[in-house]
Amino acid sequence: MTRIADVRLRRILDSRGNGTVEVDVLTESGGFGRAAAPSGASTGEHEAIELAPEEAIAAARERAVPRLVDEVYAGDQRSVDAALHAADGTDDFSEIGANSAVAISMAAAKAGADMLGAPLYQHLGGAFRGENFPIPLGNVVGGGEHAADATDIQEFLSAPVGAPNVTDAVFANAAVHGEIHDVLAERAIPAGKGDEGAWAPSIDDEEAFEIVAEATETVSQEVGFEIGFGLDVAAAEMFEDGEYVYRDRTRSTEEQIEYIADLVREYDLVYVEDPLDENDFEAFADLTEKVGERTLICGDDLFVTNTERLSQGIEQGSANSILIKPNQIGTLTDAFDAIELATRNGLDPVVSHRSGETEDATIAHLAVATDAPFIKTGAAGGERTAKLNELIRIAEDAL
């Protein structure tokens, strides 16, 4: 292993046209890694802190870079990430910014892989064999915080659970996305796209369920394998004064639990993310007890890739799945620790993009390296297809 020789930070555009942090890491032996931090719109209150890009870059240059250059081996990820924690000195990266921290962490991992001449997924510990690929969850209809005047539920997700390989799965989600466009056109419903490239028509949740069910069934018949679908409810964004506020009604916590459970049964949902408020571990446990044997109940805002919150959820039986977002916790090491704790306790990890994305494809390698059963990537848009195309390349590399 060779030490980090240089760390360069800059501001670049994300998919929403906002600024974000990109980092280059160079090693003494010529290894090179480049990574960029994503950014969320629907964010949990317990996430690591993202600073304005200029502020994050300045703070990282002052506090983190001196602890890394000529001090840390690029291939030793835990040492890299420990140096970032030491430079920041807080529990939530509020001093140097989780956006600068995660970009440095990922760029160092890429430099370490480049130095070894290995694919990133192998450097991170994976040995992808081609048959156990992460199933991509494709956001095909969206609303909530990702699109105005659209559905209350934030994401309707295509899930090609019967696909024989990752390439077929990727193209199935793209086909569902296209089929939904056609169904909307047939119904004379105009629709633009939301932050993640999903269609964002001005329809209610009930009609969205009809359209997604029709589209997934049509494409499933065309491709010859099962395509289910799932949801990201983003319920914390609806929760006000103890109730879940929809455009046409409100629901109590008990009513929300029953509503989601009924949807799981009616539509055979394969995945339900954040169906309840981000601090209601007990309600999550009640829902998981009702339908956890039928579907994944996934905690995103509930857990925020944080092992302390995950431990609480494990103790209370609050979910059977955790969403993994490296920028939500600040480093790859922290993300790995959350994945390890989850899998050791029977929870499935789902690696995820964010609504404000870049062309960085690190999460594709992370999902493969950790044998995650699902990966959320979206279904359309260059920053989304960057991850999907990388999954296809990884599968080909492993053959």
Strands in 19-27's sheet, in edge-to-edge order, are 4-13, 19-27, 32-36
Q: Report phi then psi at 184, rounded to 5.
A: -60, -40
Domain CATH code at residue 227: 3.20.20.120
> Which of the residues 179, 273, 325, 376 is marked catalytic?
325
Q: Which residue, of 88, 117, 146, is where some domain finishes? A: 117
In a domain, 71, yes or no: yes
Task: Give the C-alpha separation, 130 to 399, whole Å.
Answer: 7
Same domain, 227 and 375: yes
Number of structural domains found in the chain: 2
> Which of the residues 196, 237, 357, 390 is marked catalytic?
196
In a domain, 381, yes or no: yes
Same domain, 243 and 108: no
Domain containing 14 equals 4-117
Same domain, 105 and 146: no
Same domain, 51 and 175: no
In a domain, 295, yes or no: yes
Residue 183: CA atoms inside 13 Å, Cβ hemisphere, count?
A: 24
Same domain, 148 and 19: no
Same domain, 202 and 320: yes
* Residue count of the chain: 399
Q: What's the CA angle centered on 297, arms 128 and 237, to 5 degrees?
A: 115
Per-residue pLDDT tens, the chain, 399 aa: give them: 689 999 999 999 999 999 999 999 999 999 999 999 999 766 668 899 999 999 999 999 999 999 999 999 999 999 999 999 999 999 999 999 999 999 999 999 999 999 999 999 999 986 444 457 899 999 999 988 766 778 999 999 999 999 999 999 999 999 999 999 999 999 999 999 988 899 999 999 999 999 999 999 999 999 999 999 999 999 999 999 999 999 989 999 999 999 999 999 999 999 999 999 999 999 999 999 999 999 999 999 999 999 999 999 999 999 999 999 999 999 999 999 999 999 999 999 999 999 899 999 999 999 999 999 999 999 888 999 999 999 999 998 876
Same domain, 39 and 184: no
| 325 a catalytic residue | yes
Residue 248, class by beta-carbon neighbours within 10 Å (0-12 exposed, 13-18 middle, 19+ buried)?
exposed
Strands 191-193 and 199-201: antiparallel
Same domain, 140 and 280: yes
Same domain, 149 and 217: yes
Q: Answer for the pair 30, 2: CB distance below 8 angstroms, yes or no.
A: no
In a domain, 101, yes or no: yes
| 387 a catalytic residue | no
Q: Which residue, of 65, 82, 117, is where some domain finishes? A: 117
How much is the CA Rg of the chain, to the nearest whole Å? 20
Task: Give the C-alpha separation, 91 to 313, whole Å.
Answer: 19
Among the listed residues 165, 157, 167, the one whose alpha carbon sits nearest the alpha carbon of residue 352:
157
Quote the pTM value.
Answer: 0.95
In a domain, 123, yes or no: no
C-alpha dihedral over 85, 87, 91, 93, to 10 degrees? -100
Domain CATH code at residue 65: 3.30.390.10
